[in-house]
Amino acid sequence: MSLLRCVEPEWLDELPADDPRAIRSRRDLQRVNVWMLQVGIMERALAKHCAYDKPHVLLELGAGDGSFMLRLARRLAPRWENVKVILLDRQNIVSRETREGFSTLRWEVETVTADVFDFLAQAGHQSVDVITANLFLHHFPNQKLIQLLAQAAPTTGLFVACEPRRTMPAFVGSRLLWAIGCNEVSRHDAVVSVRAGFSGQELSALWPKNGEWRTHEHTAKLFTHCFVARRCVAQGTTA
């Protein structure tokens, strides 16, 4: 496997939301998140970097059906009360049950169906406390990532992303999803995701260069690459 980053189309992104293969693949993705321990990784990153300031507004990029954020919210709700979470995705696939799950936690949920670049461009300099991305940034080639991160930076004080690691062990793991019953869409997309994943300080190199920010990247568990950018100069609402 080449260690050079390679971004290719993922089948799930190209299927209609109501295609049975897409519905099955979204269920598979929930299992993959569990297998990769993504919720715990994101929880620890947020708890560490929001240790002294409870966020009020949280934006998730590429939120999909909202199930990942709901599982994360269930862990965070005991210490983060009355949070508003904005679920941004190109498809409107958040179920009523998921919305009710947030309500049970006393979290307000807003779903936005839009392209991420259009949404961030329209958001301008409106502030949210935290932006998160789970298995989302790897969909974009570097030039588009530079644009996305440049648009995101003015709107927040903390950006946290958990992405695939681009390593041989992760590649081998992506080939084993048949063992947990994943369908052909999920198996294809897992391999593509690892090839488009990250290593080293690649995301830090793409983040806007100015003295307001501190960035950090590290590996988490076996398959995850974690990126954190935190604003050091206060601007509006910060995390």
Q: What is the pLDDT of residues 113-139, one digit of tens each?
A: 999 999 999 876 668 999 999 999 999
Of 157, 102, 178, 166, which Cα lies nearest the Cα of 137?
A: 166
pLDDT of residue 80 exceeding 80, the answer is yes
Residue 212 per-residue DSSP state:
T
pLDDT at residue 210 in the model: 82
Q: Measured between alpha carbons, how far is 174 from 194 in angstroms, rounded to an integer?
A: 7
128-134, strands of its sheet edge to edge: 108-113, 84-89, 57-61, 128-134, 156-164, 224-231, 213-220
Query: Does pLDDT of 40 surpass 60?
Result: yes
Predicted confidence (pLDDT) per residue in 175-223, tens digit? 989 888 999 999 999 999 999 999 999 999 999 988 789 999 999 988 9
**Predicted confidence (pLDDT) per residue in 147-162, tens digit:** 999 999 999 999 999 9
Overall pTM > 0.75: yes
Burial class of 125 by CB neighbour count within 10 A (0 to 12, 13 to 18, 19+): exposed
Helix (H, G, I), strand (E, B) or coil at 19: coil
Q: Are strands 156-164 and 128-134 parallel, antiparallel or unpaired?
A: parallel
Kindly state the percentage of the chain with pLDDT values over 90. 78
**pLDDT for the residue 127:** 84
pLDDT, position 125:
60
Q: Is the model's pLDDT at 112 over the cut of 90? A: yes
More confident residue, 239 or 77: 77
* Cβ pair 208, 153 in contact under 8 A: yes
- Are 223 and 26 contacting, i.e. CB atoms less than 8 angstroms apart? no
9: left (phi over 0), alpha (psi -120 to 50) or beta: beta
Reduce the DSSP state of residue 148 to 3 states and report it.
helix
The pLDDT of residue 238 is above 50: no
Counting every residue written for the chain, the total comes to: 239
Whole-angstrom distance, CA of residue 188 vs CA of residue 22? 12
Lowest mean pLDDT among 4-8, 88-92, 120-124, 154-158: 120-124
Note the pLDDT of residue 222: 86
The pLDDT of residue 234 is 53
Q: Distance between CA atoms of 39 and 30, rounded to whole angstroms?
A: 10
**Residue-level pLDDT at 239:** 39
How close are the terminal C-alpha atoms of the chain, in Å?
39
Lowest mean pLDDT among 56-60, 95-99, 123-127, 167-171: 123-127
Q: Are 94 and 69 in contact (CB under 8 A)?
A: no
Confidence of residue 76 (pLDDT cuts 50, 70, 90): very high
Tokens of 92: 């409107």
| DSSP-derived 3-state class of residue 126 | coil
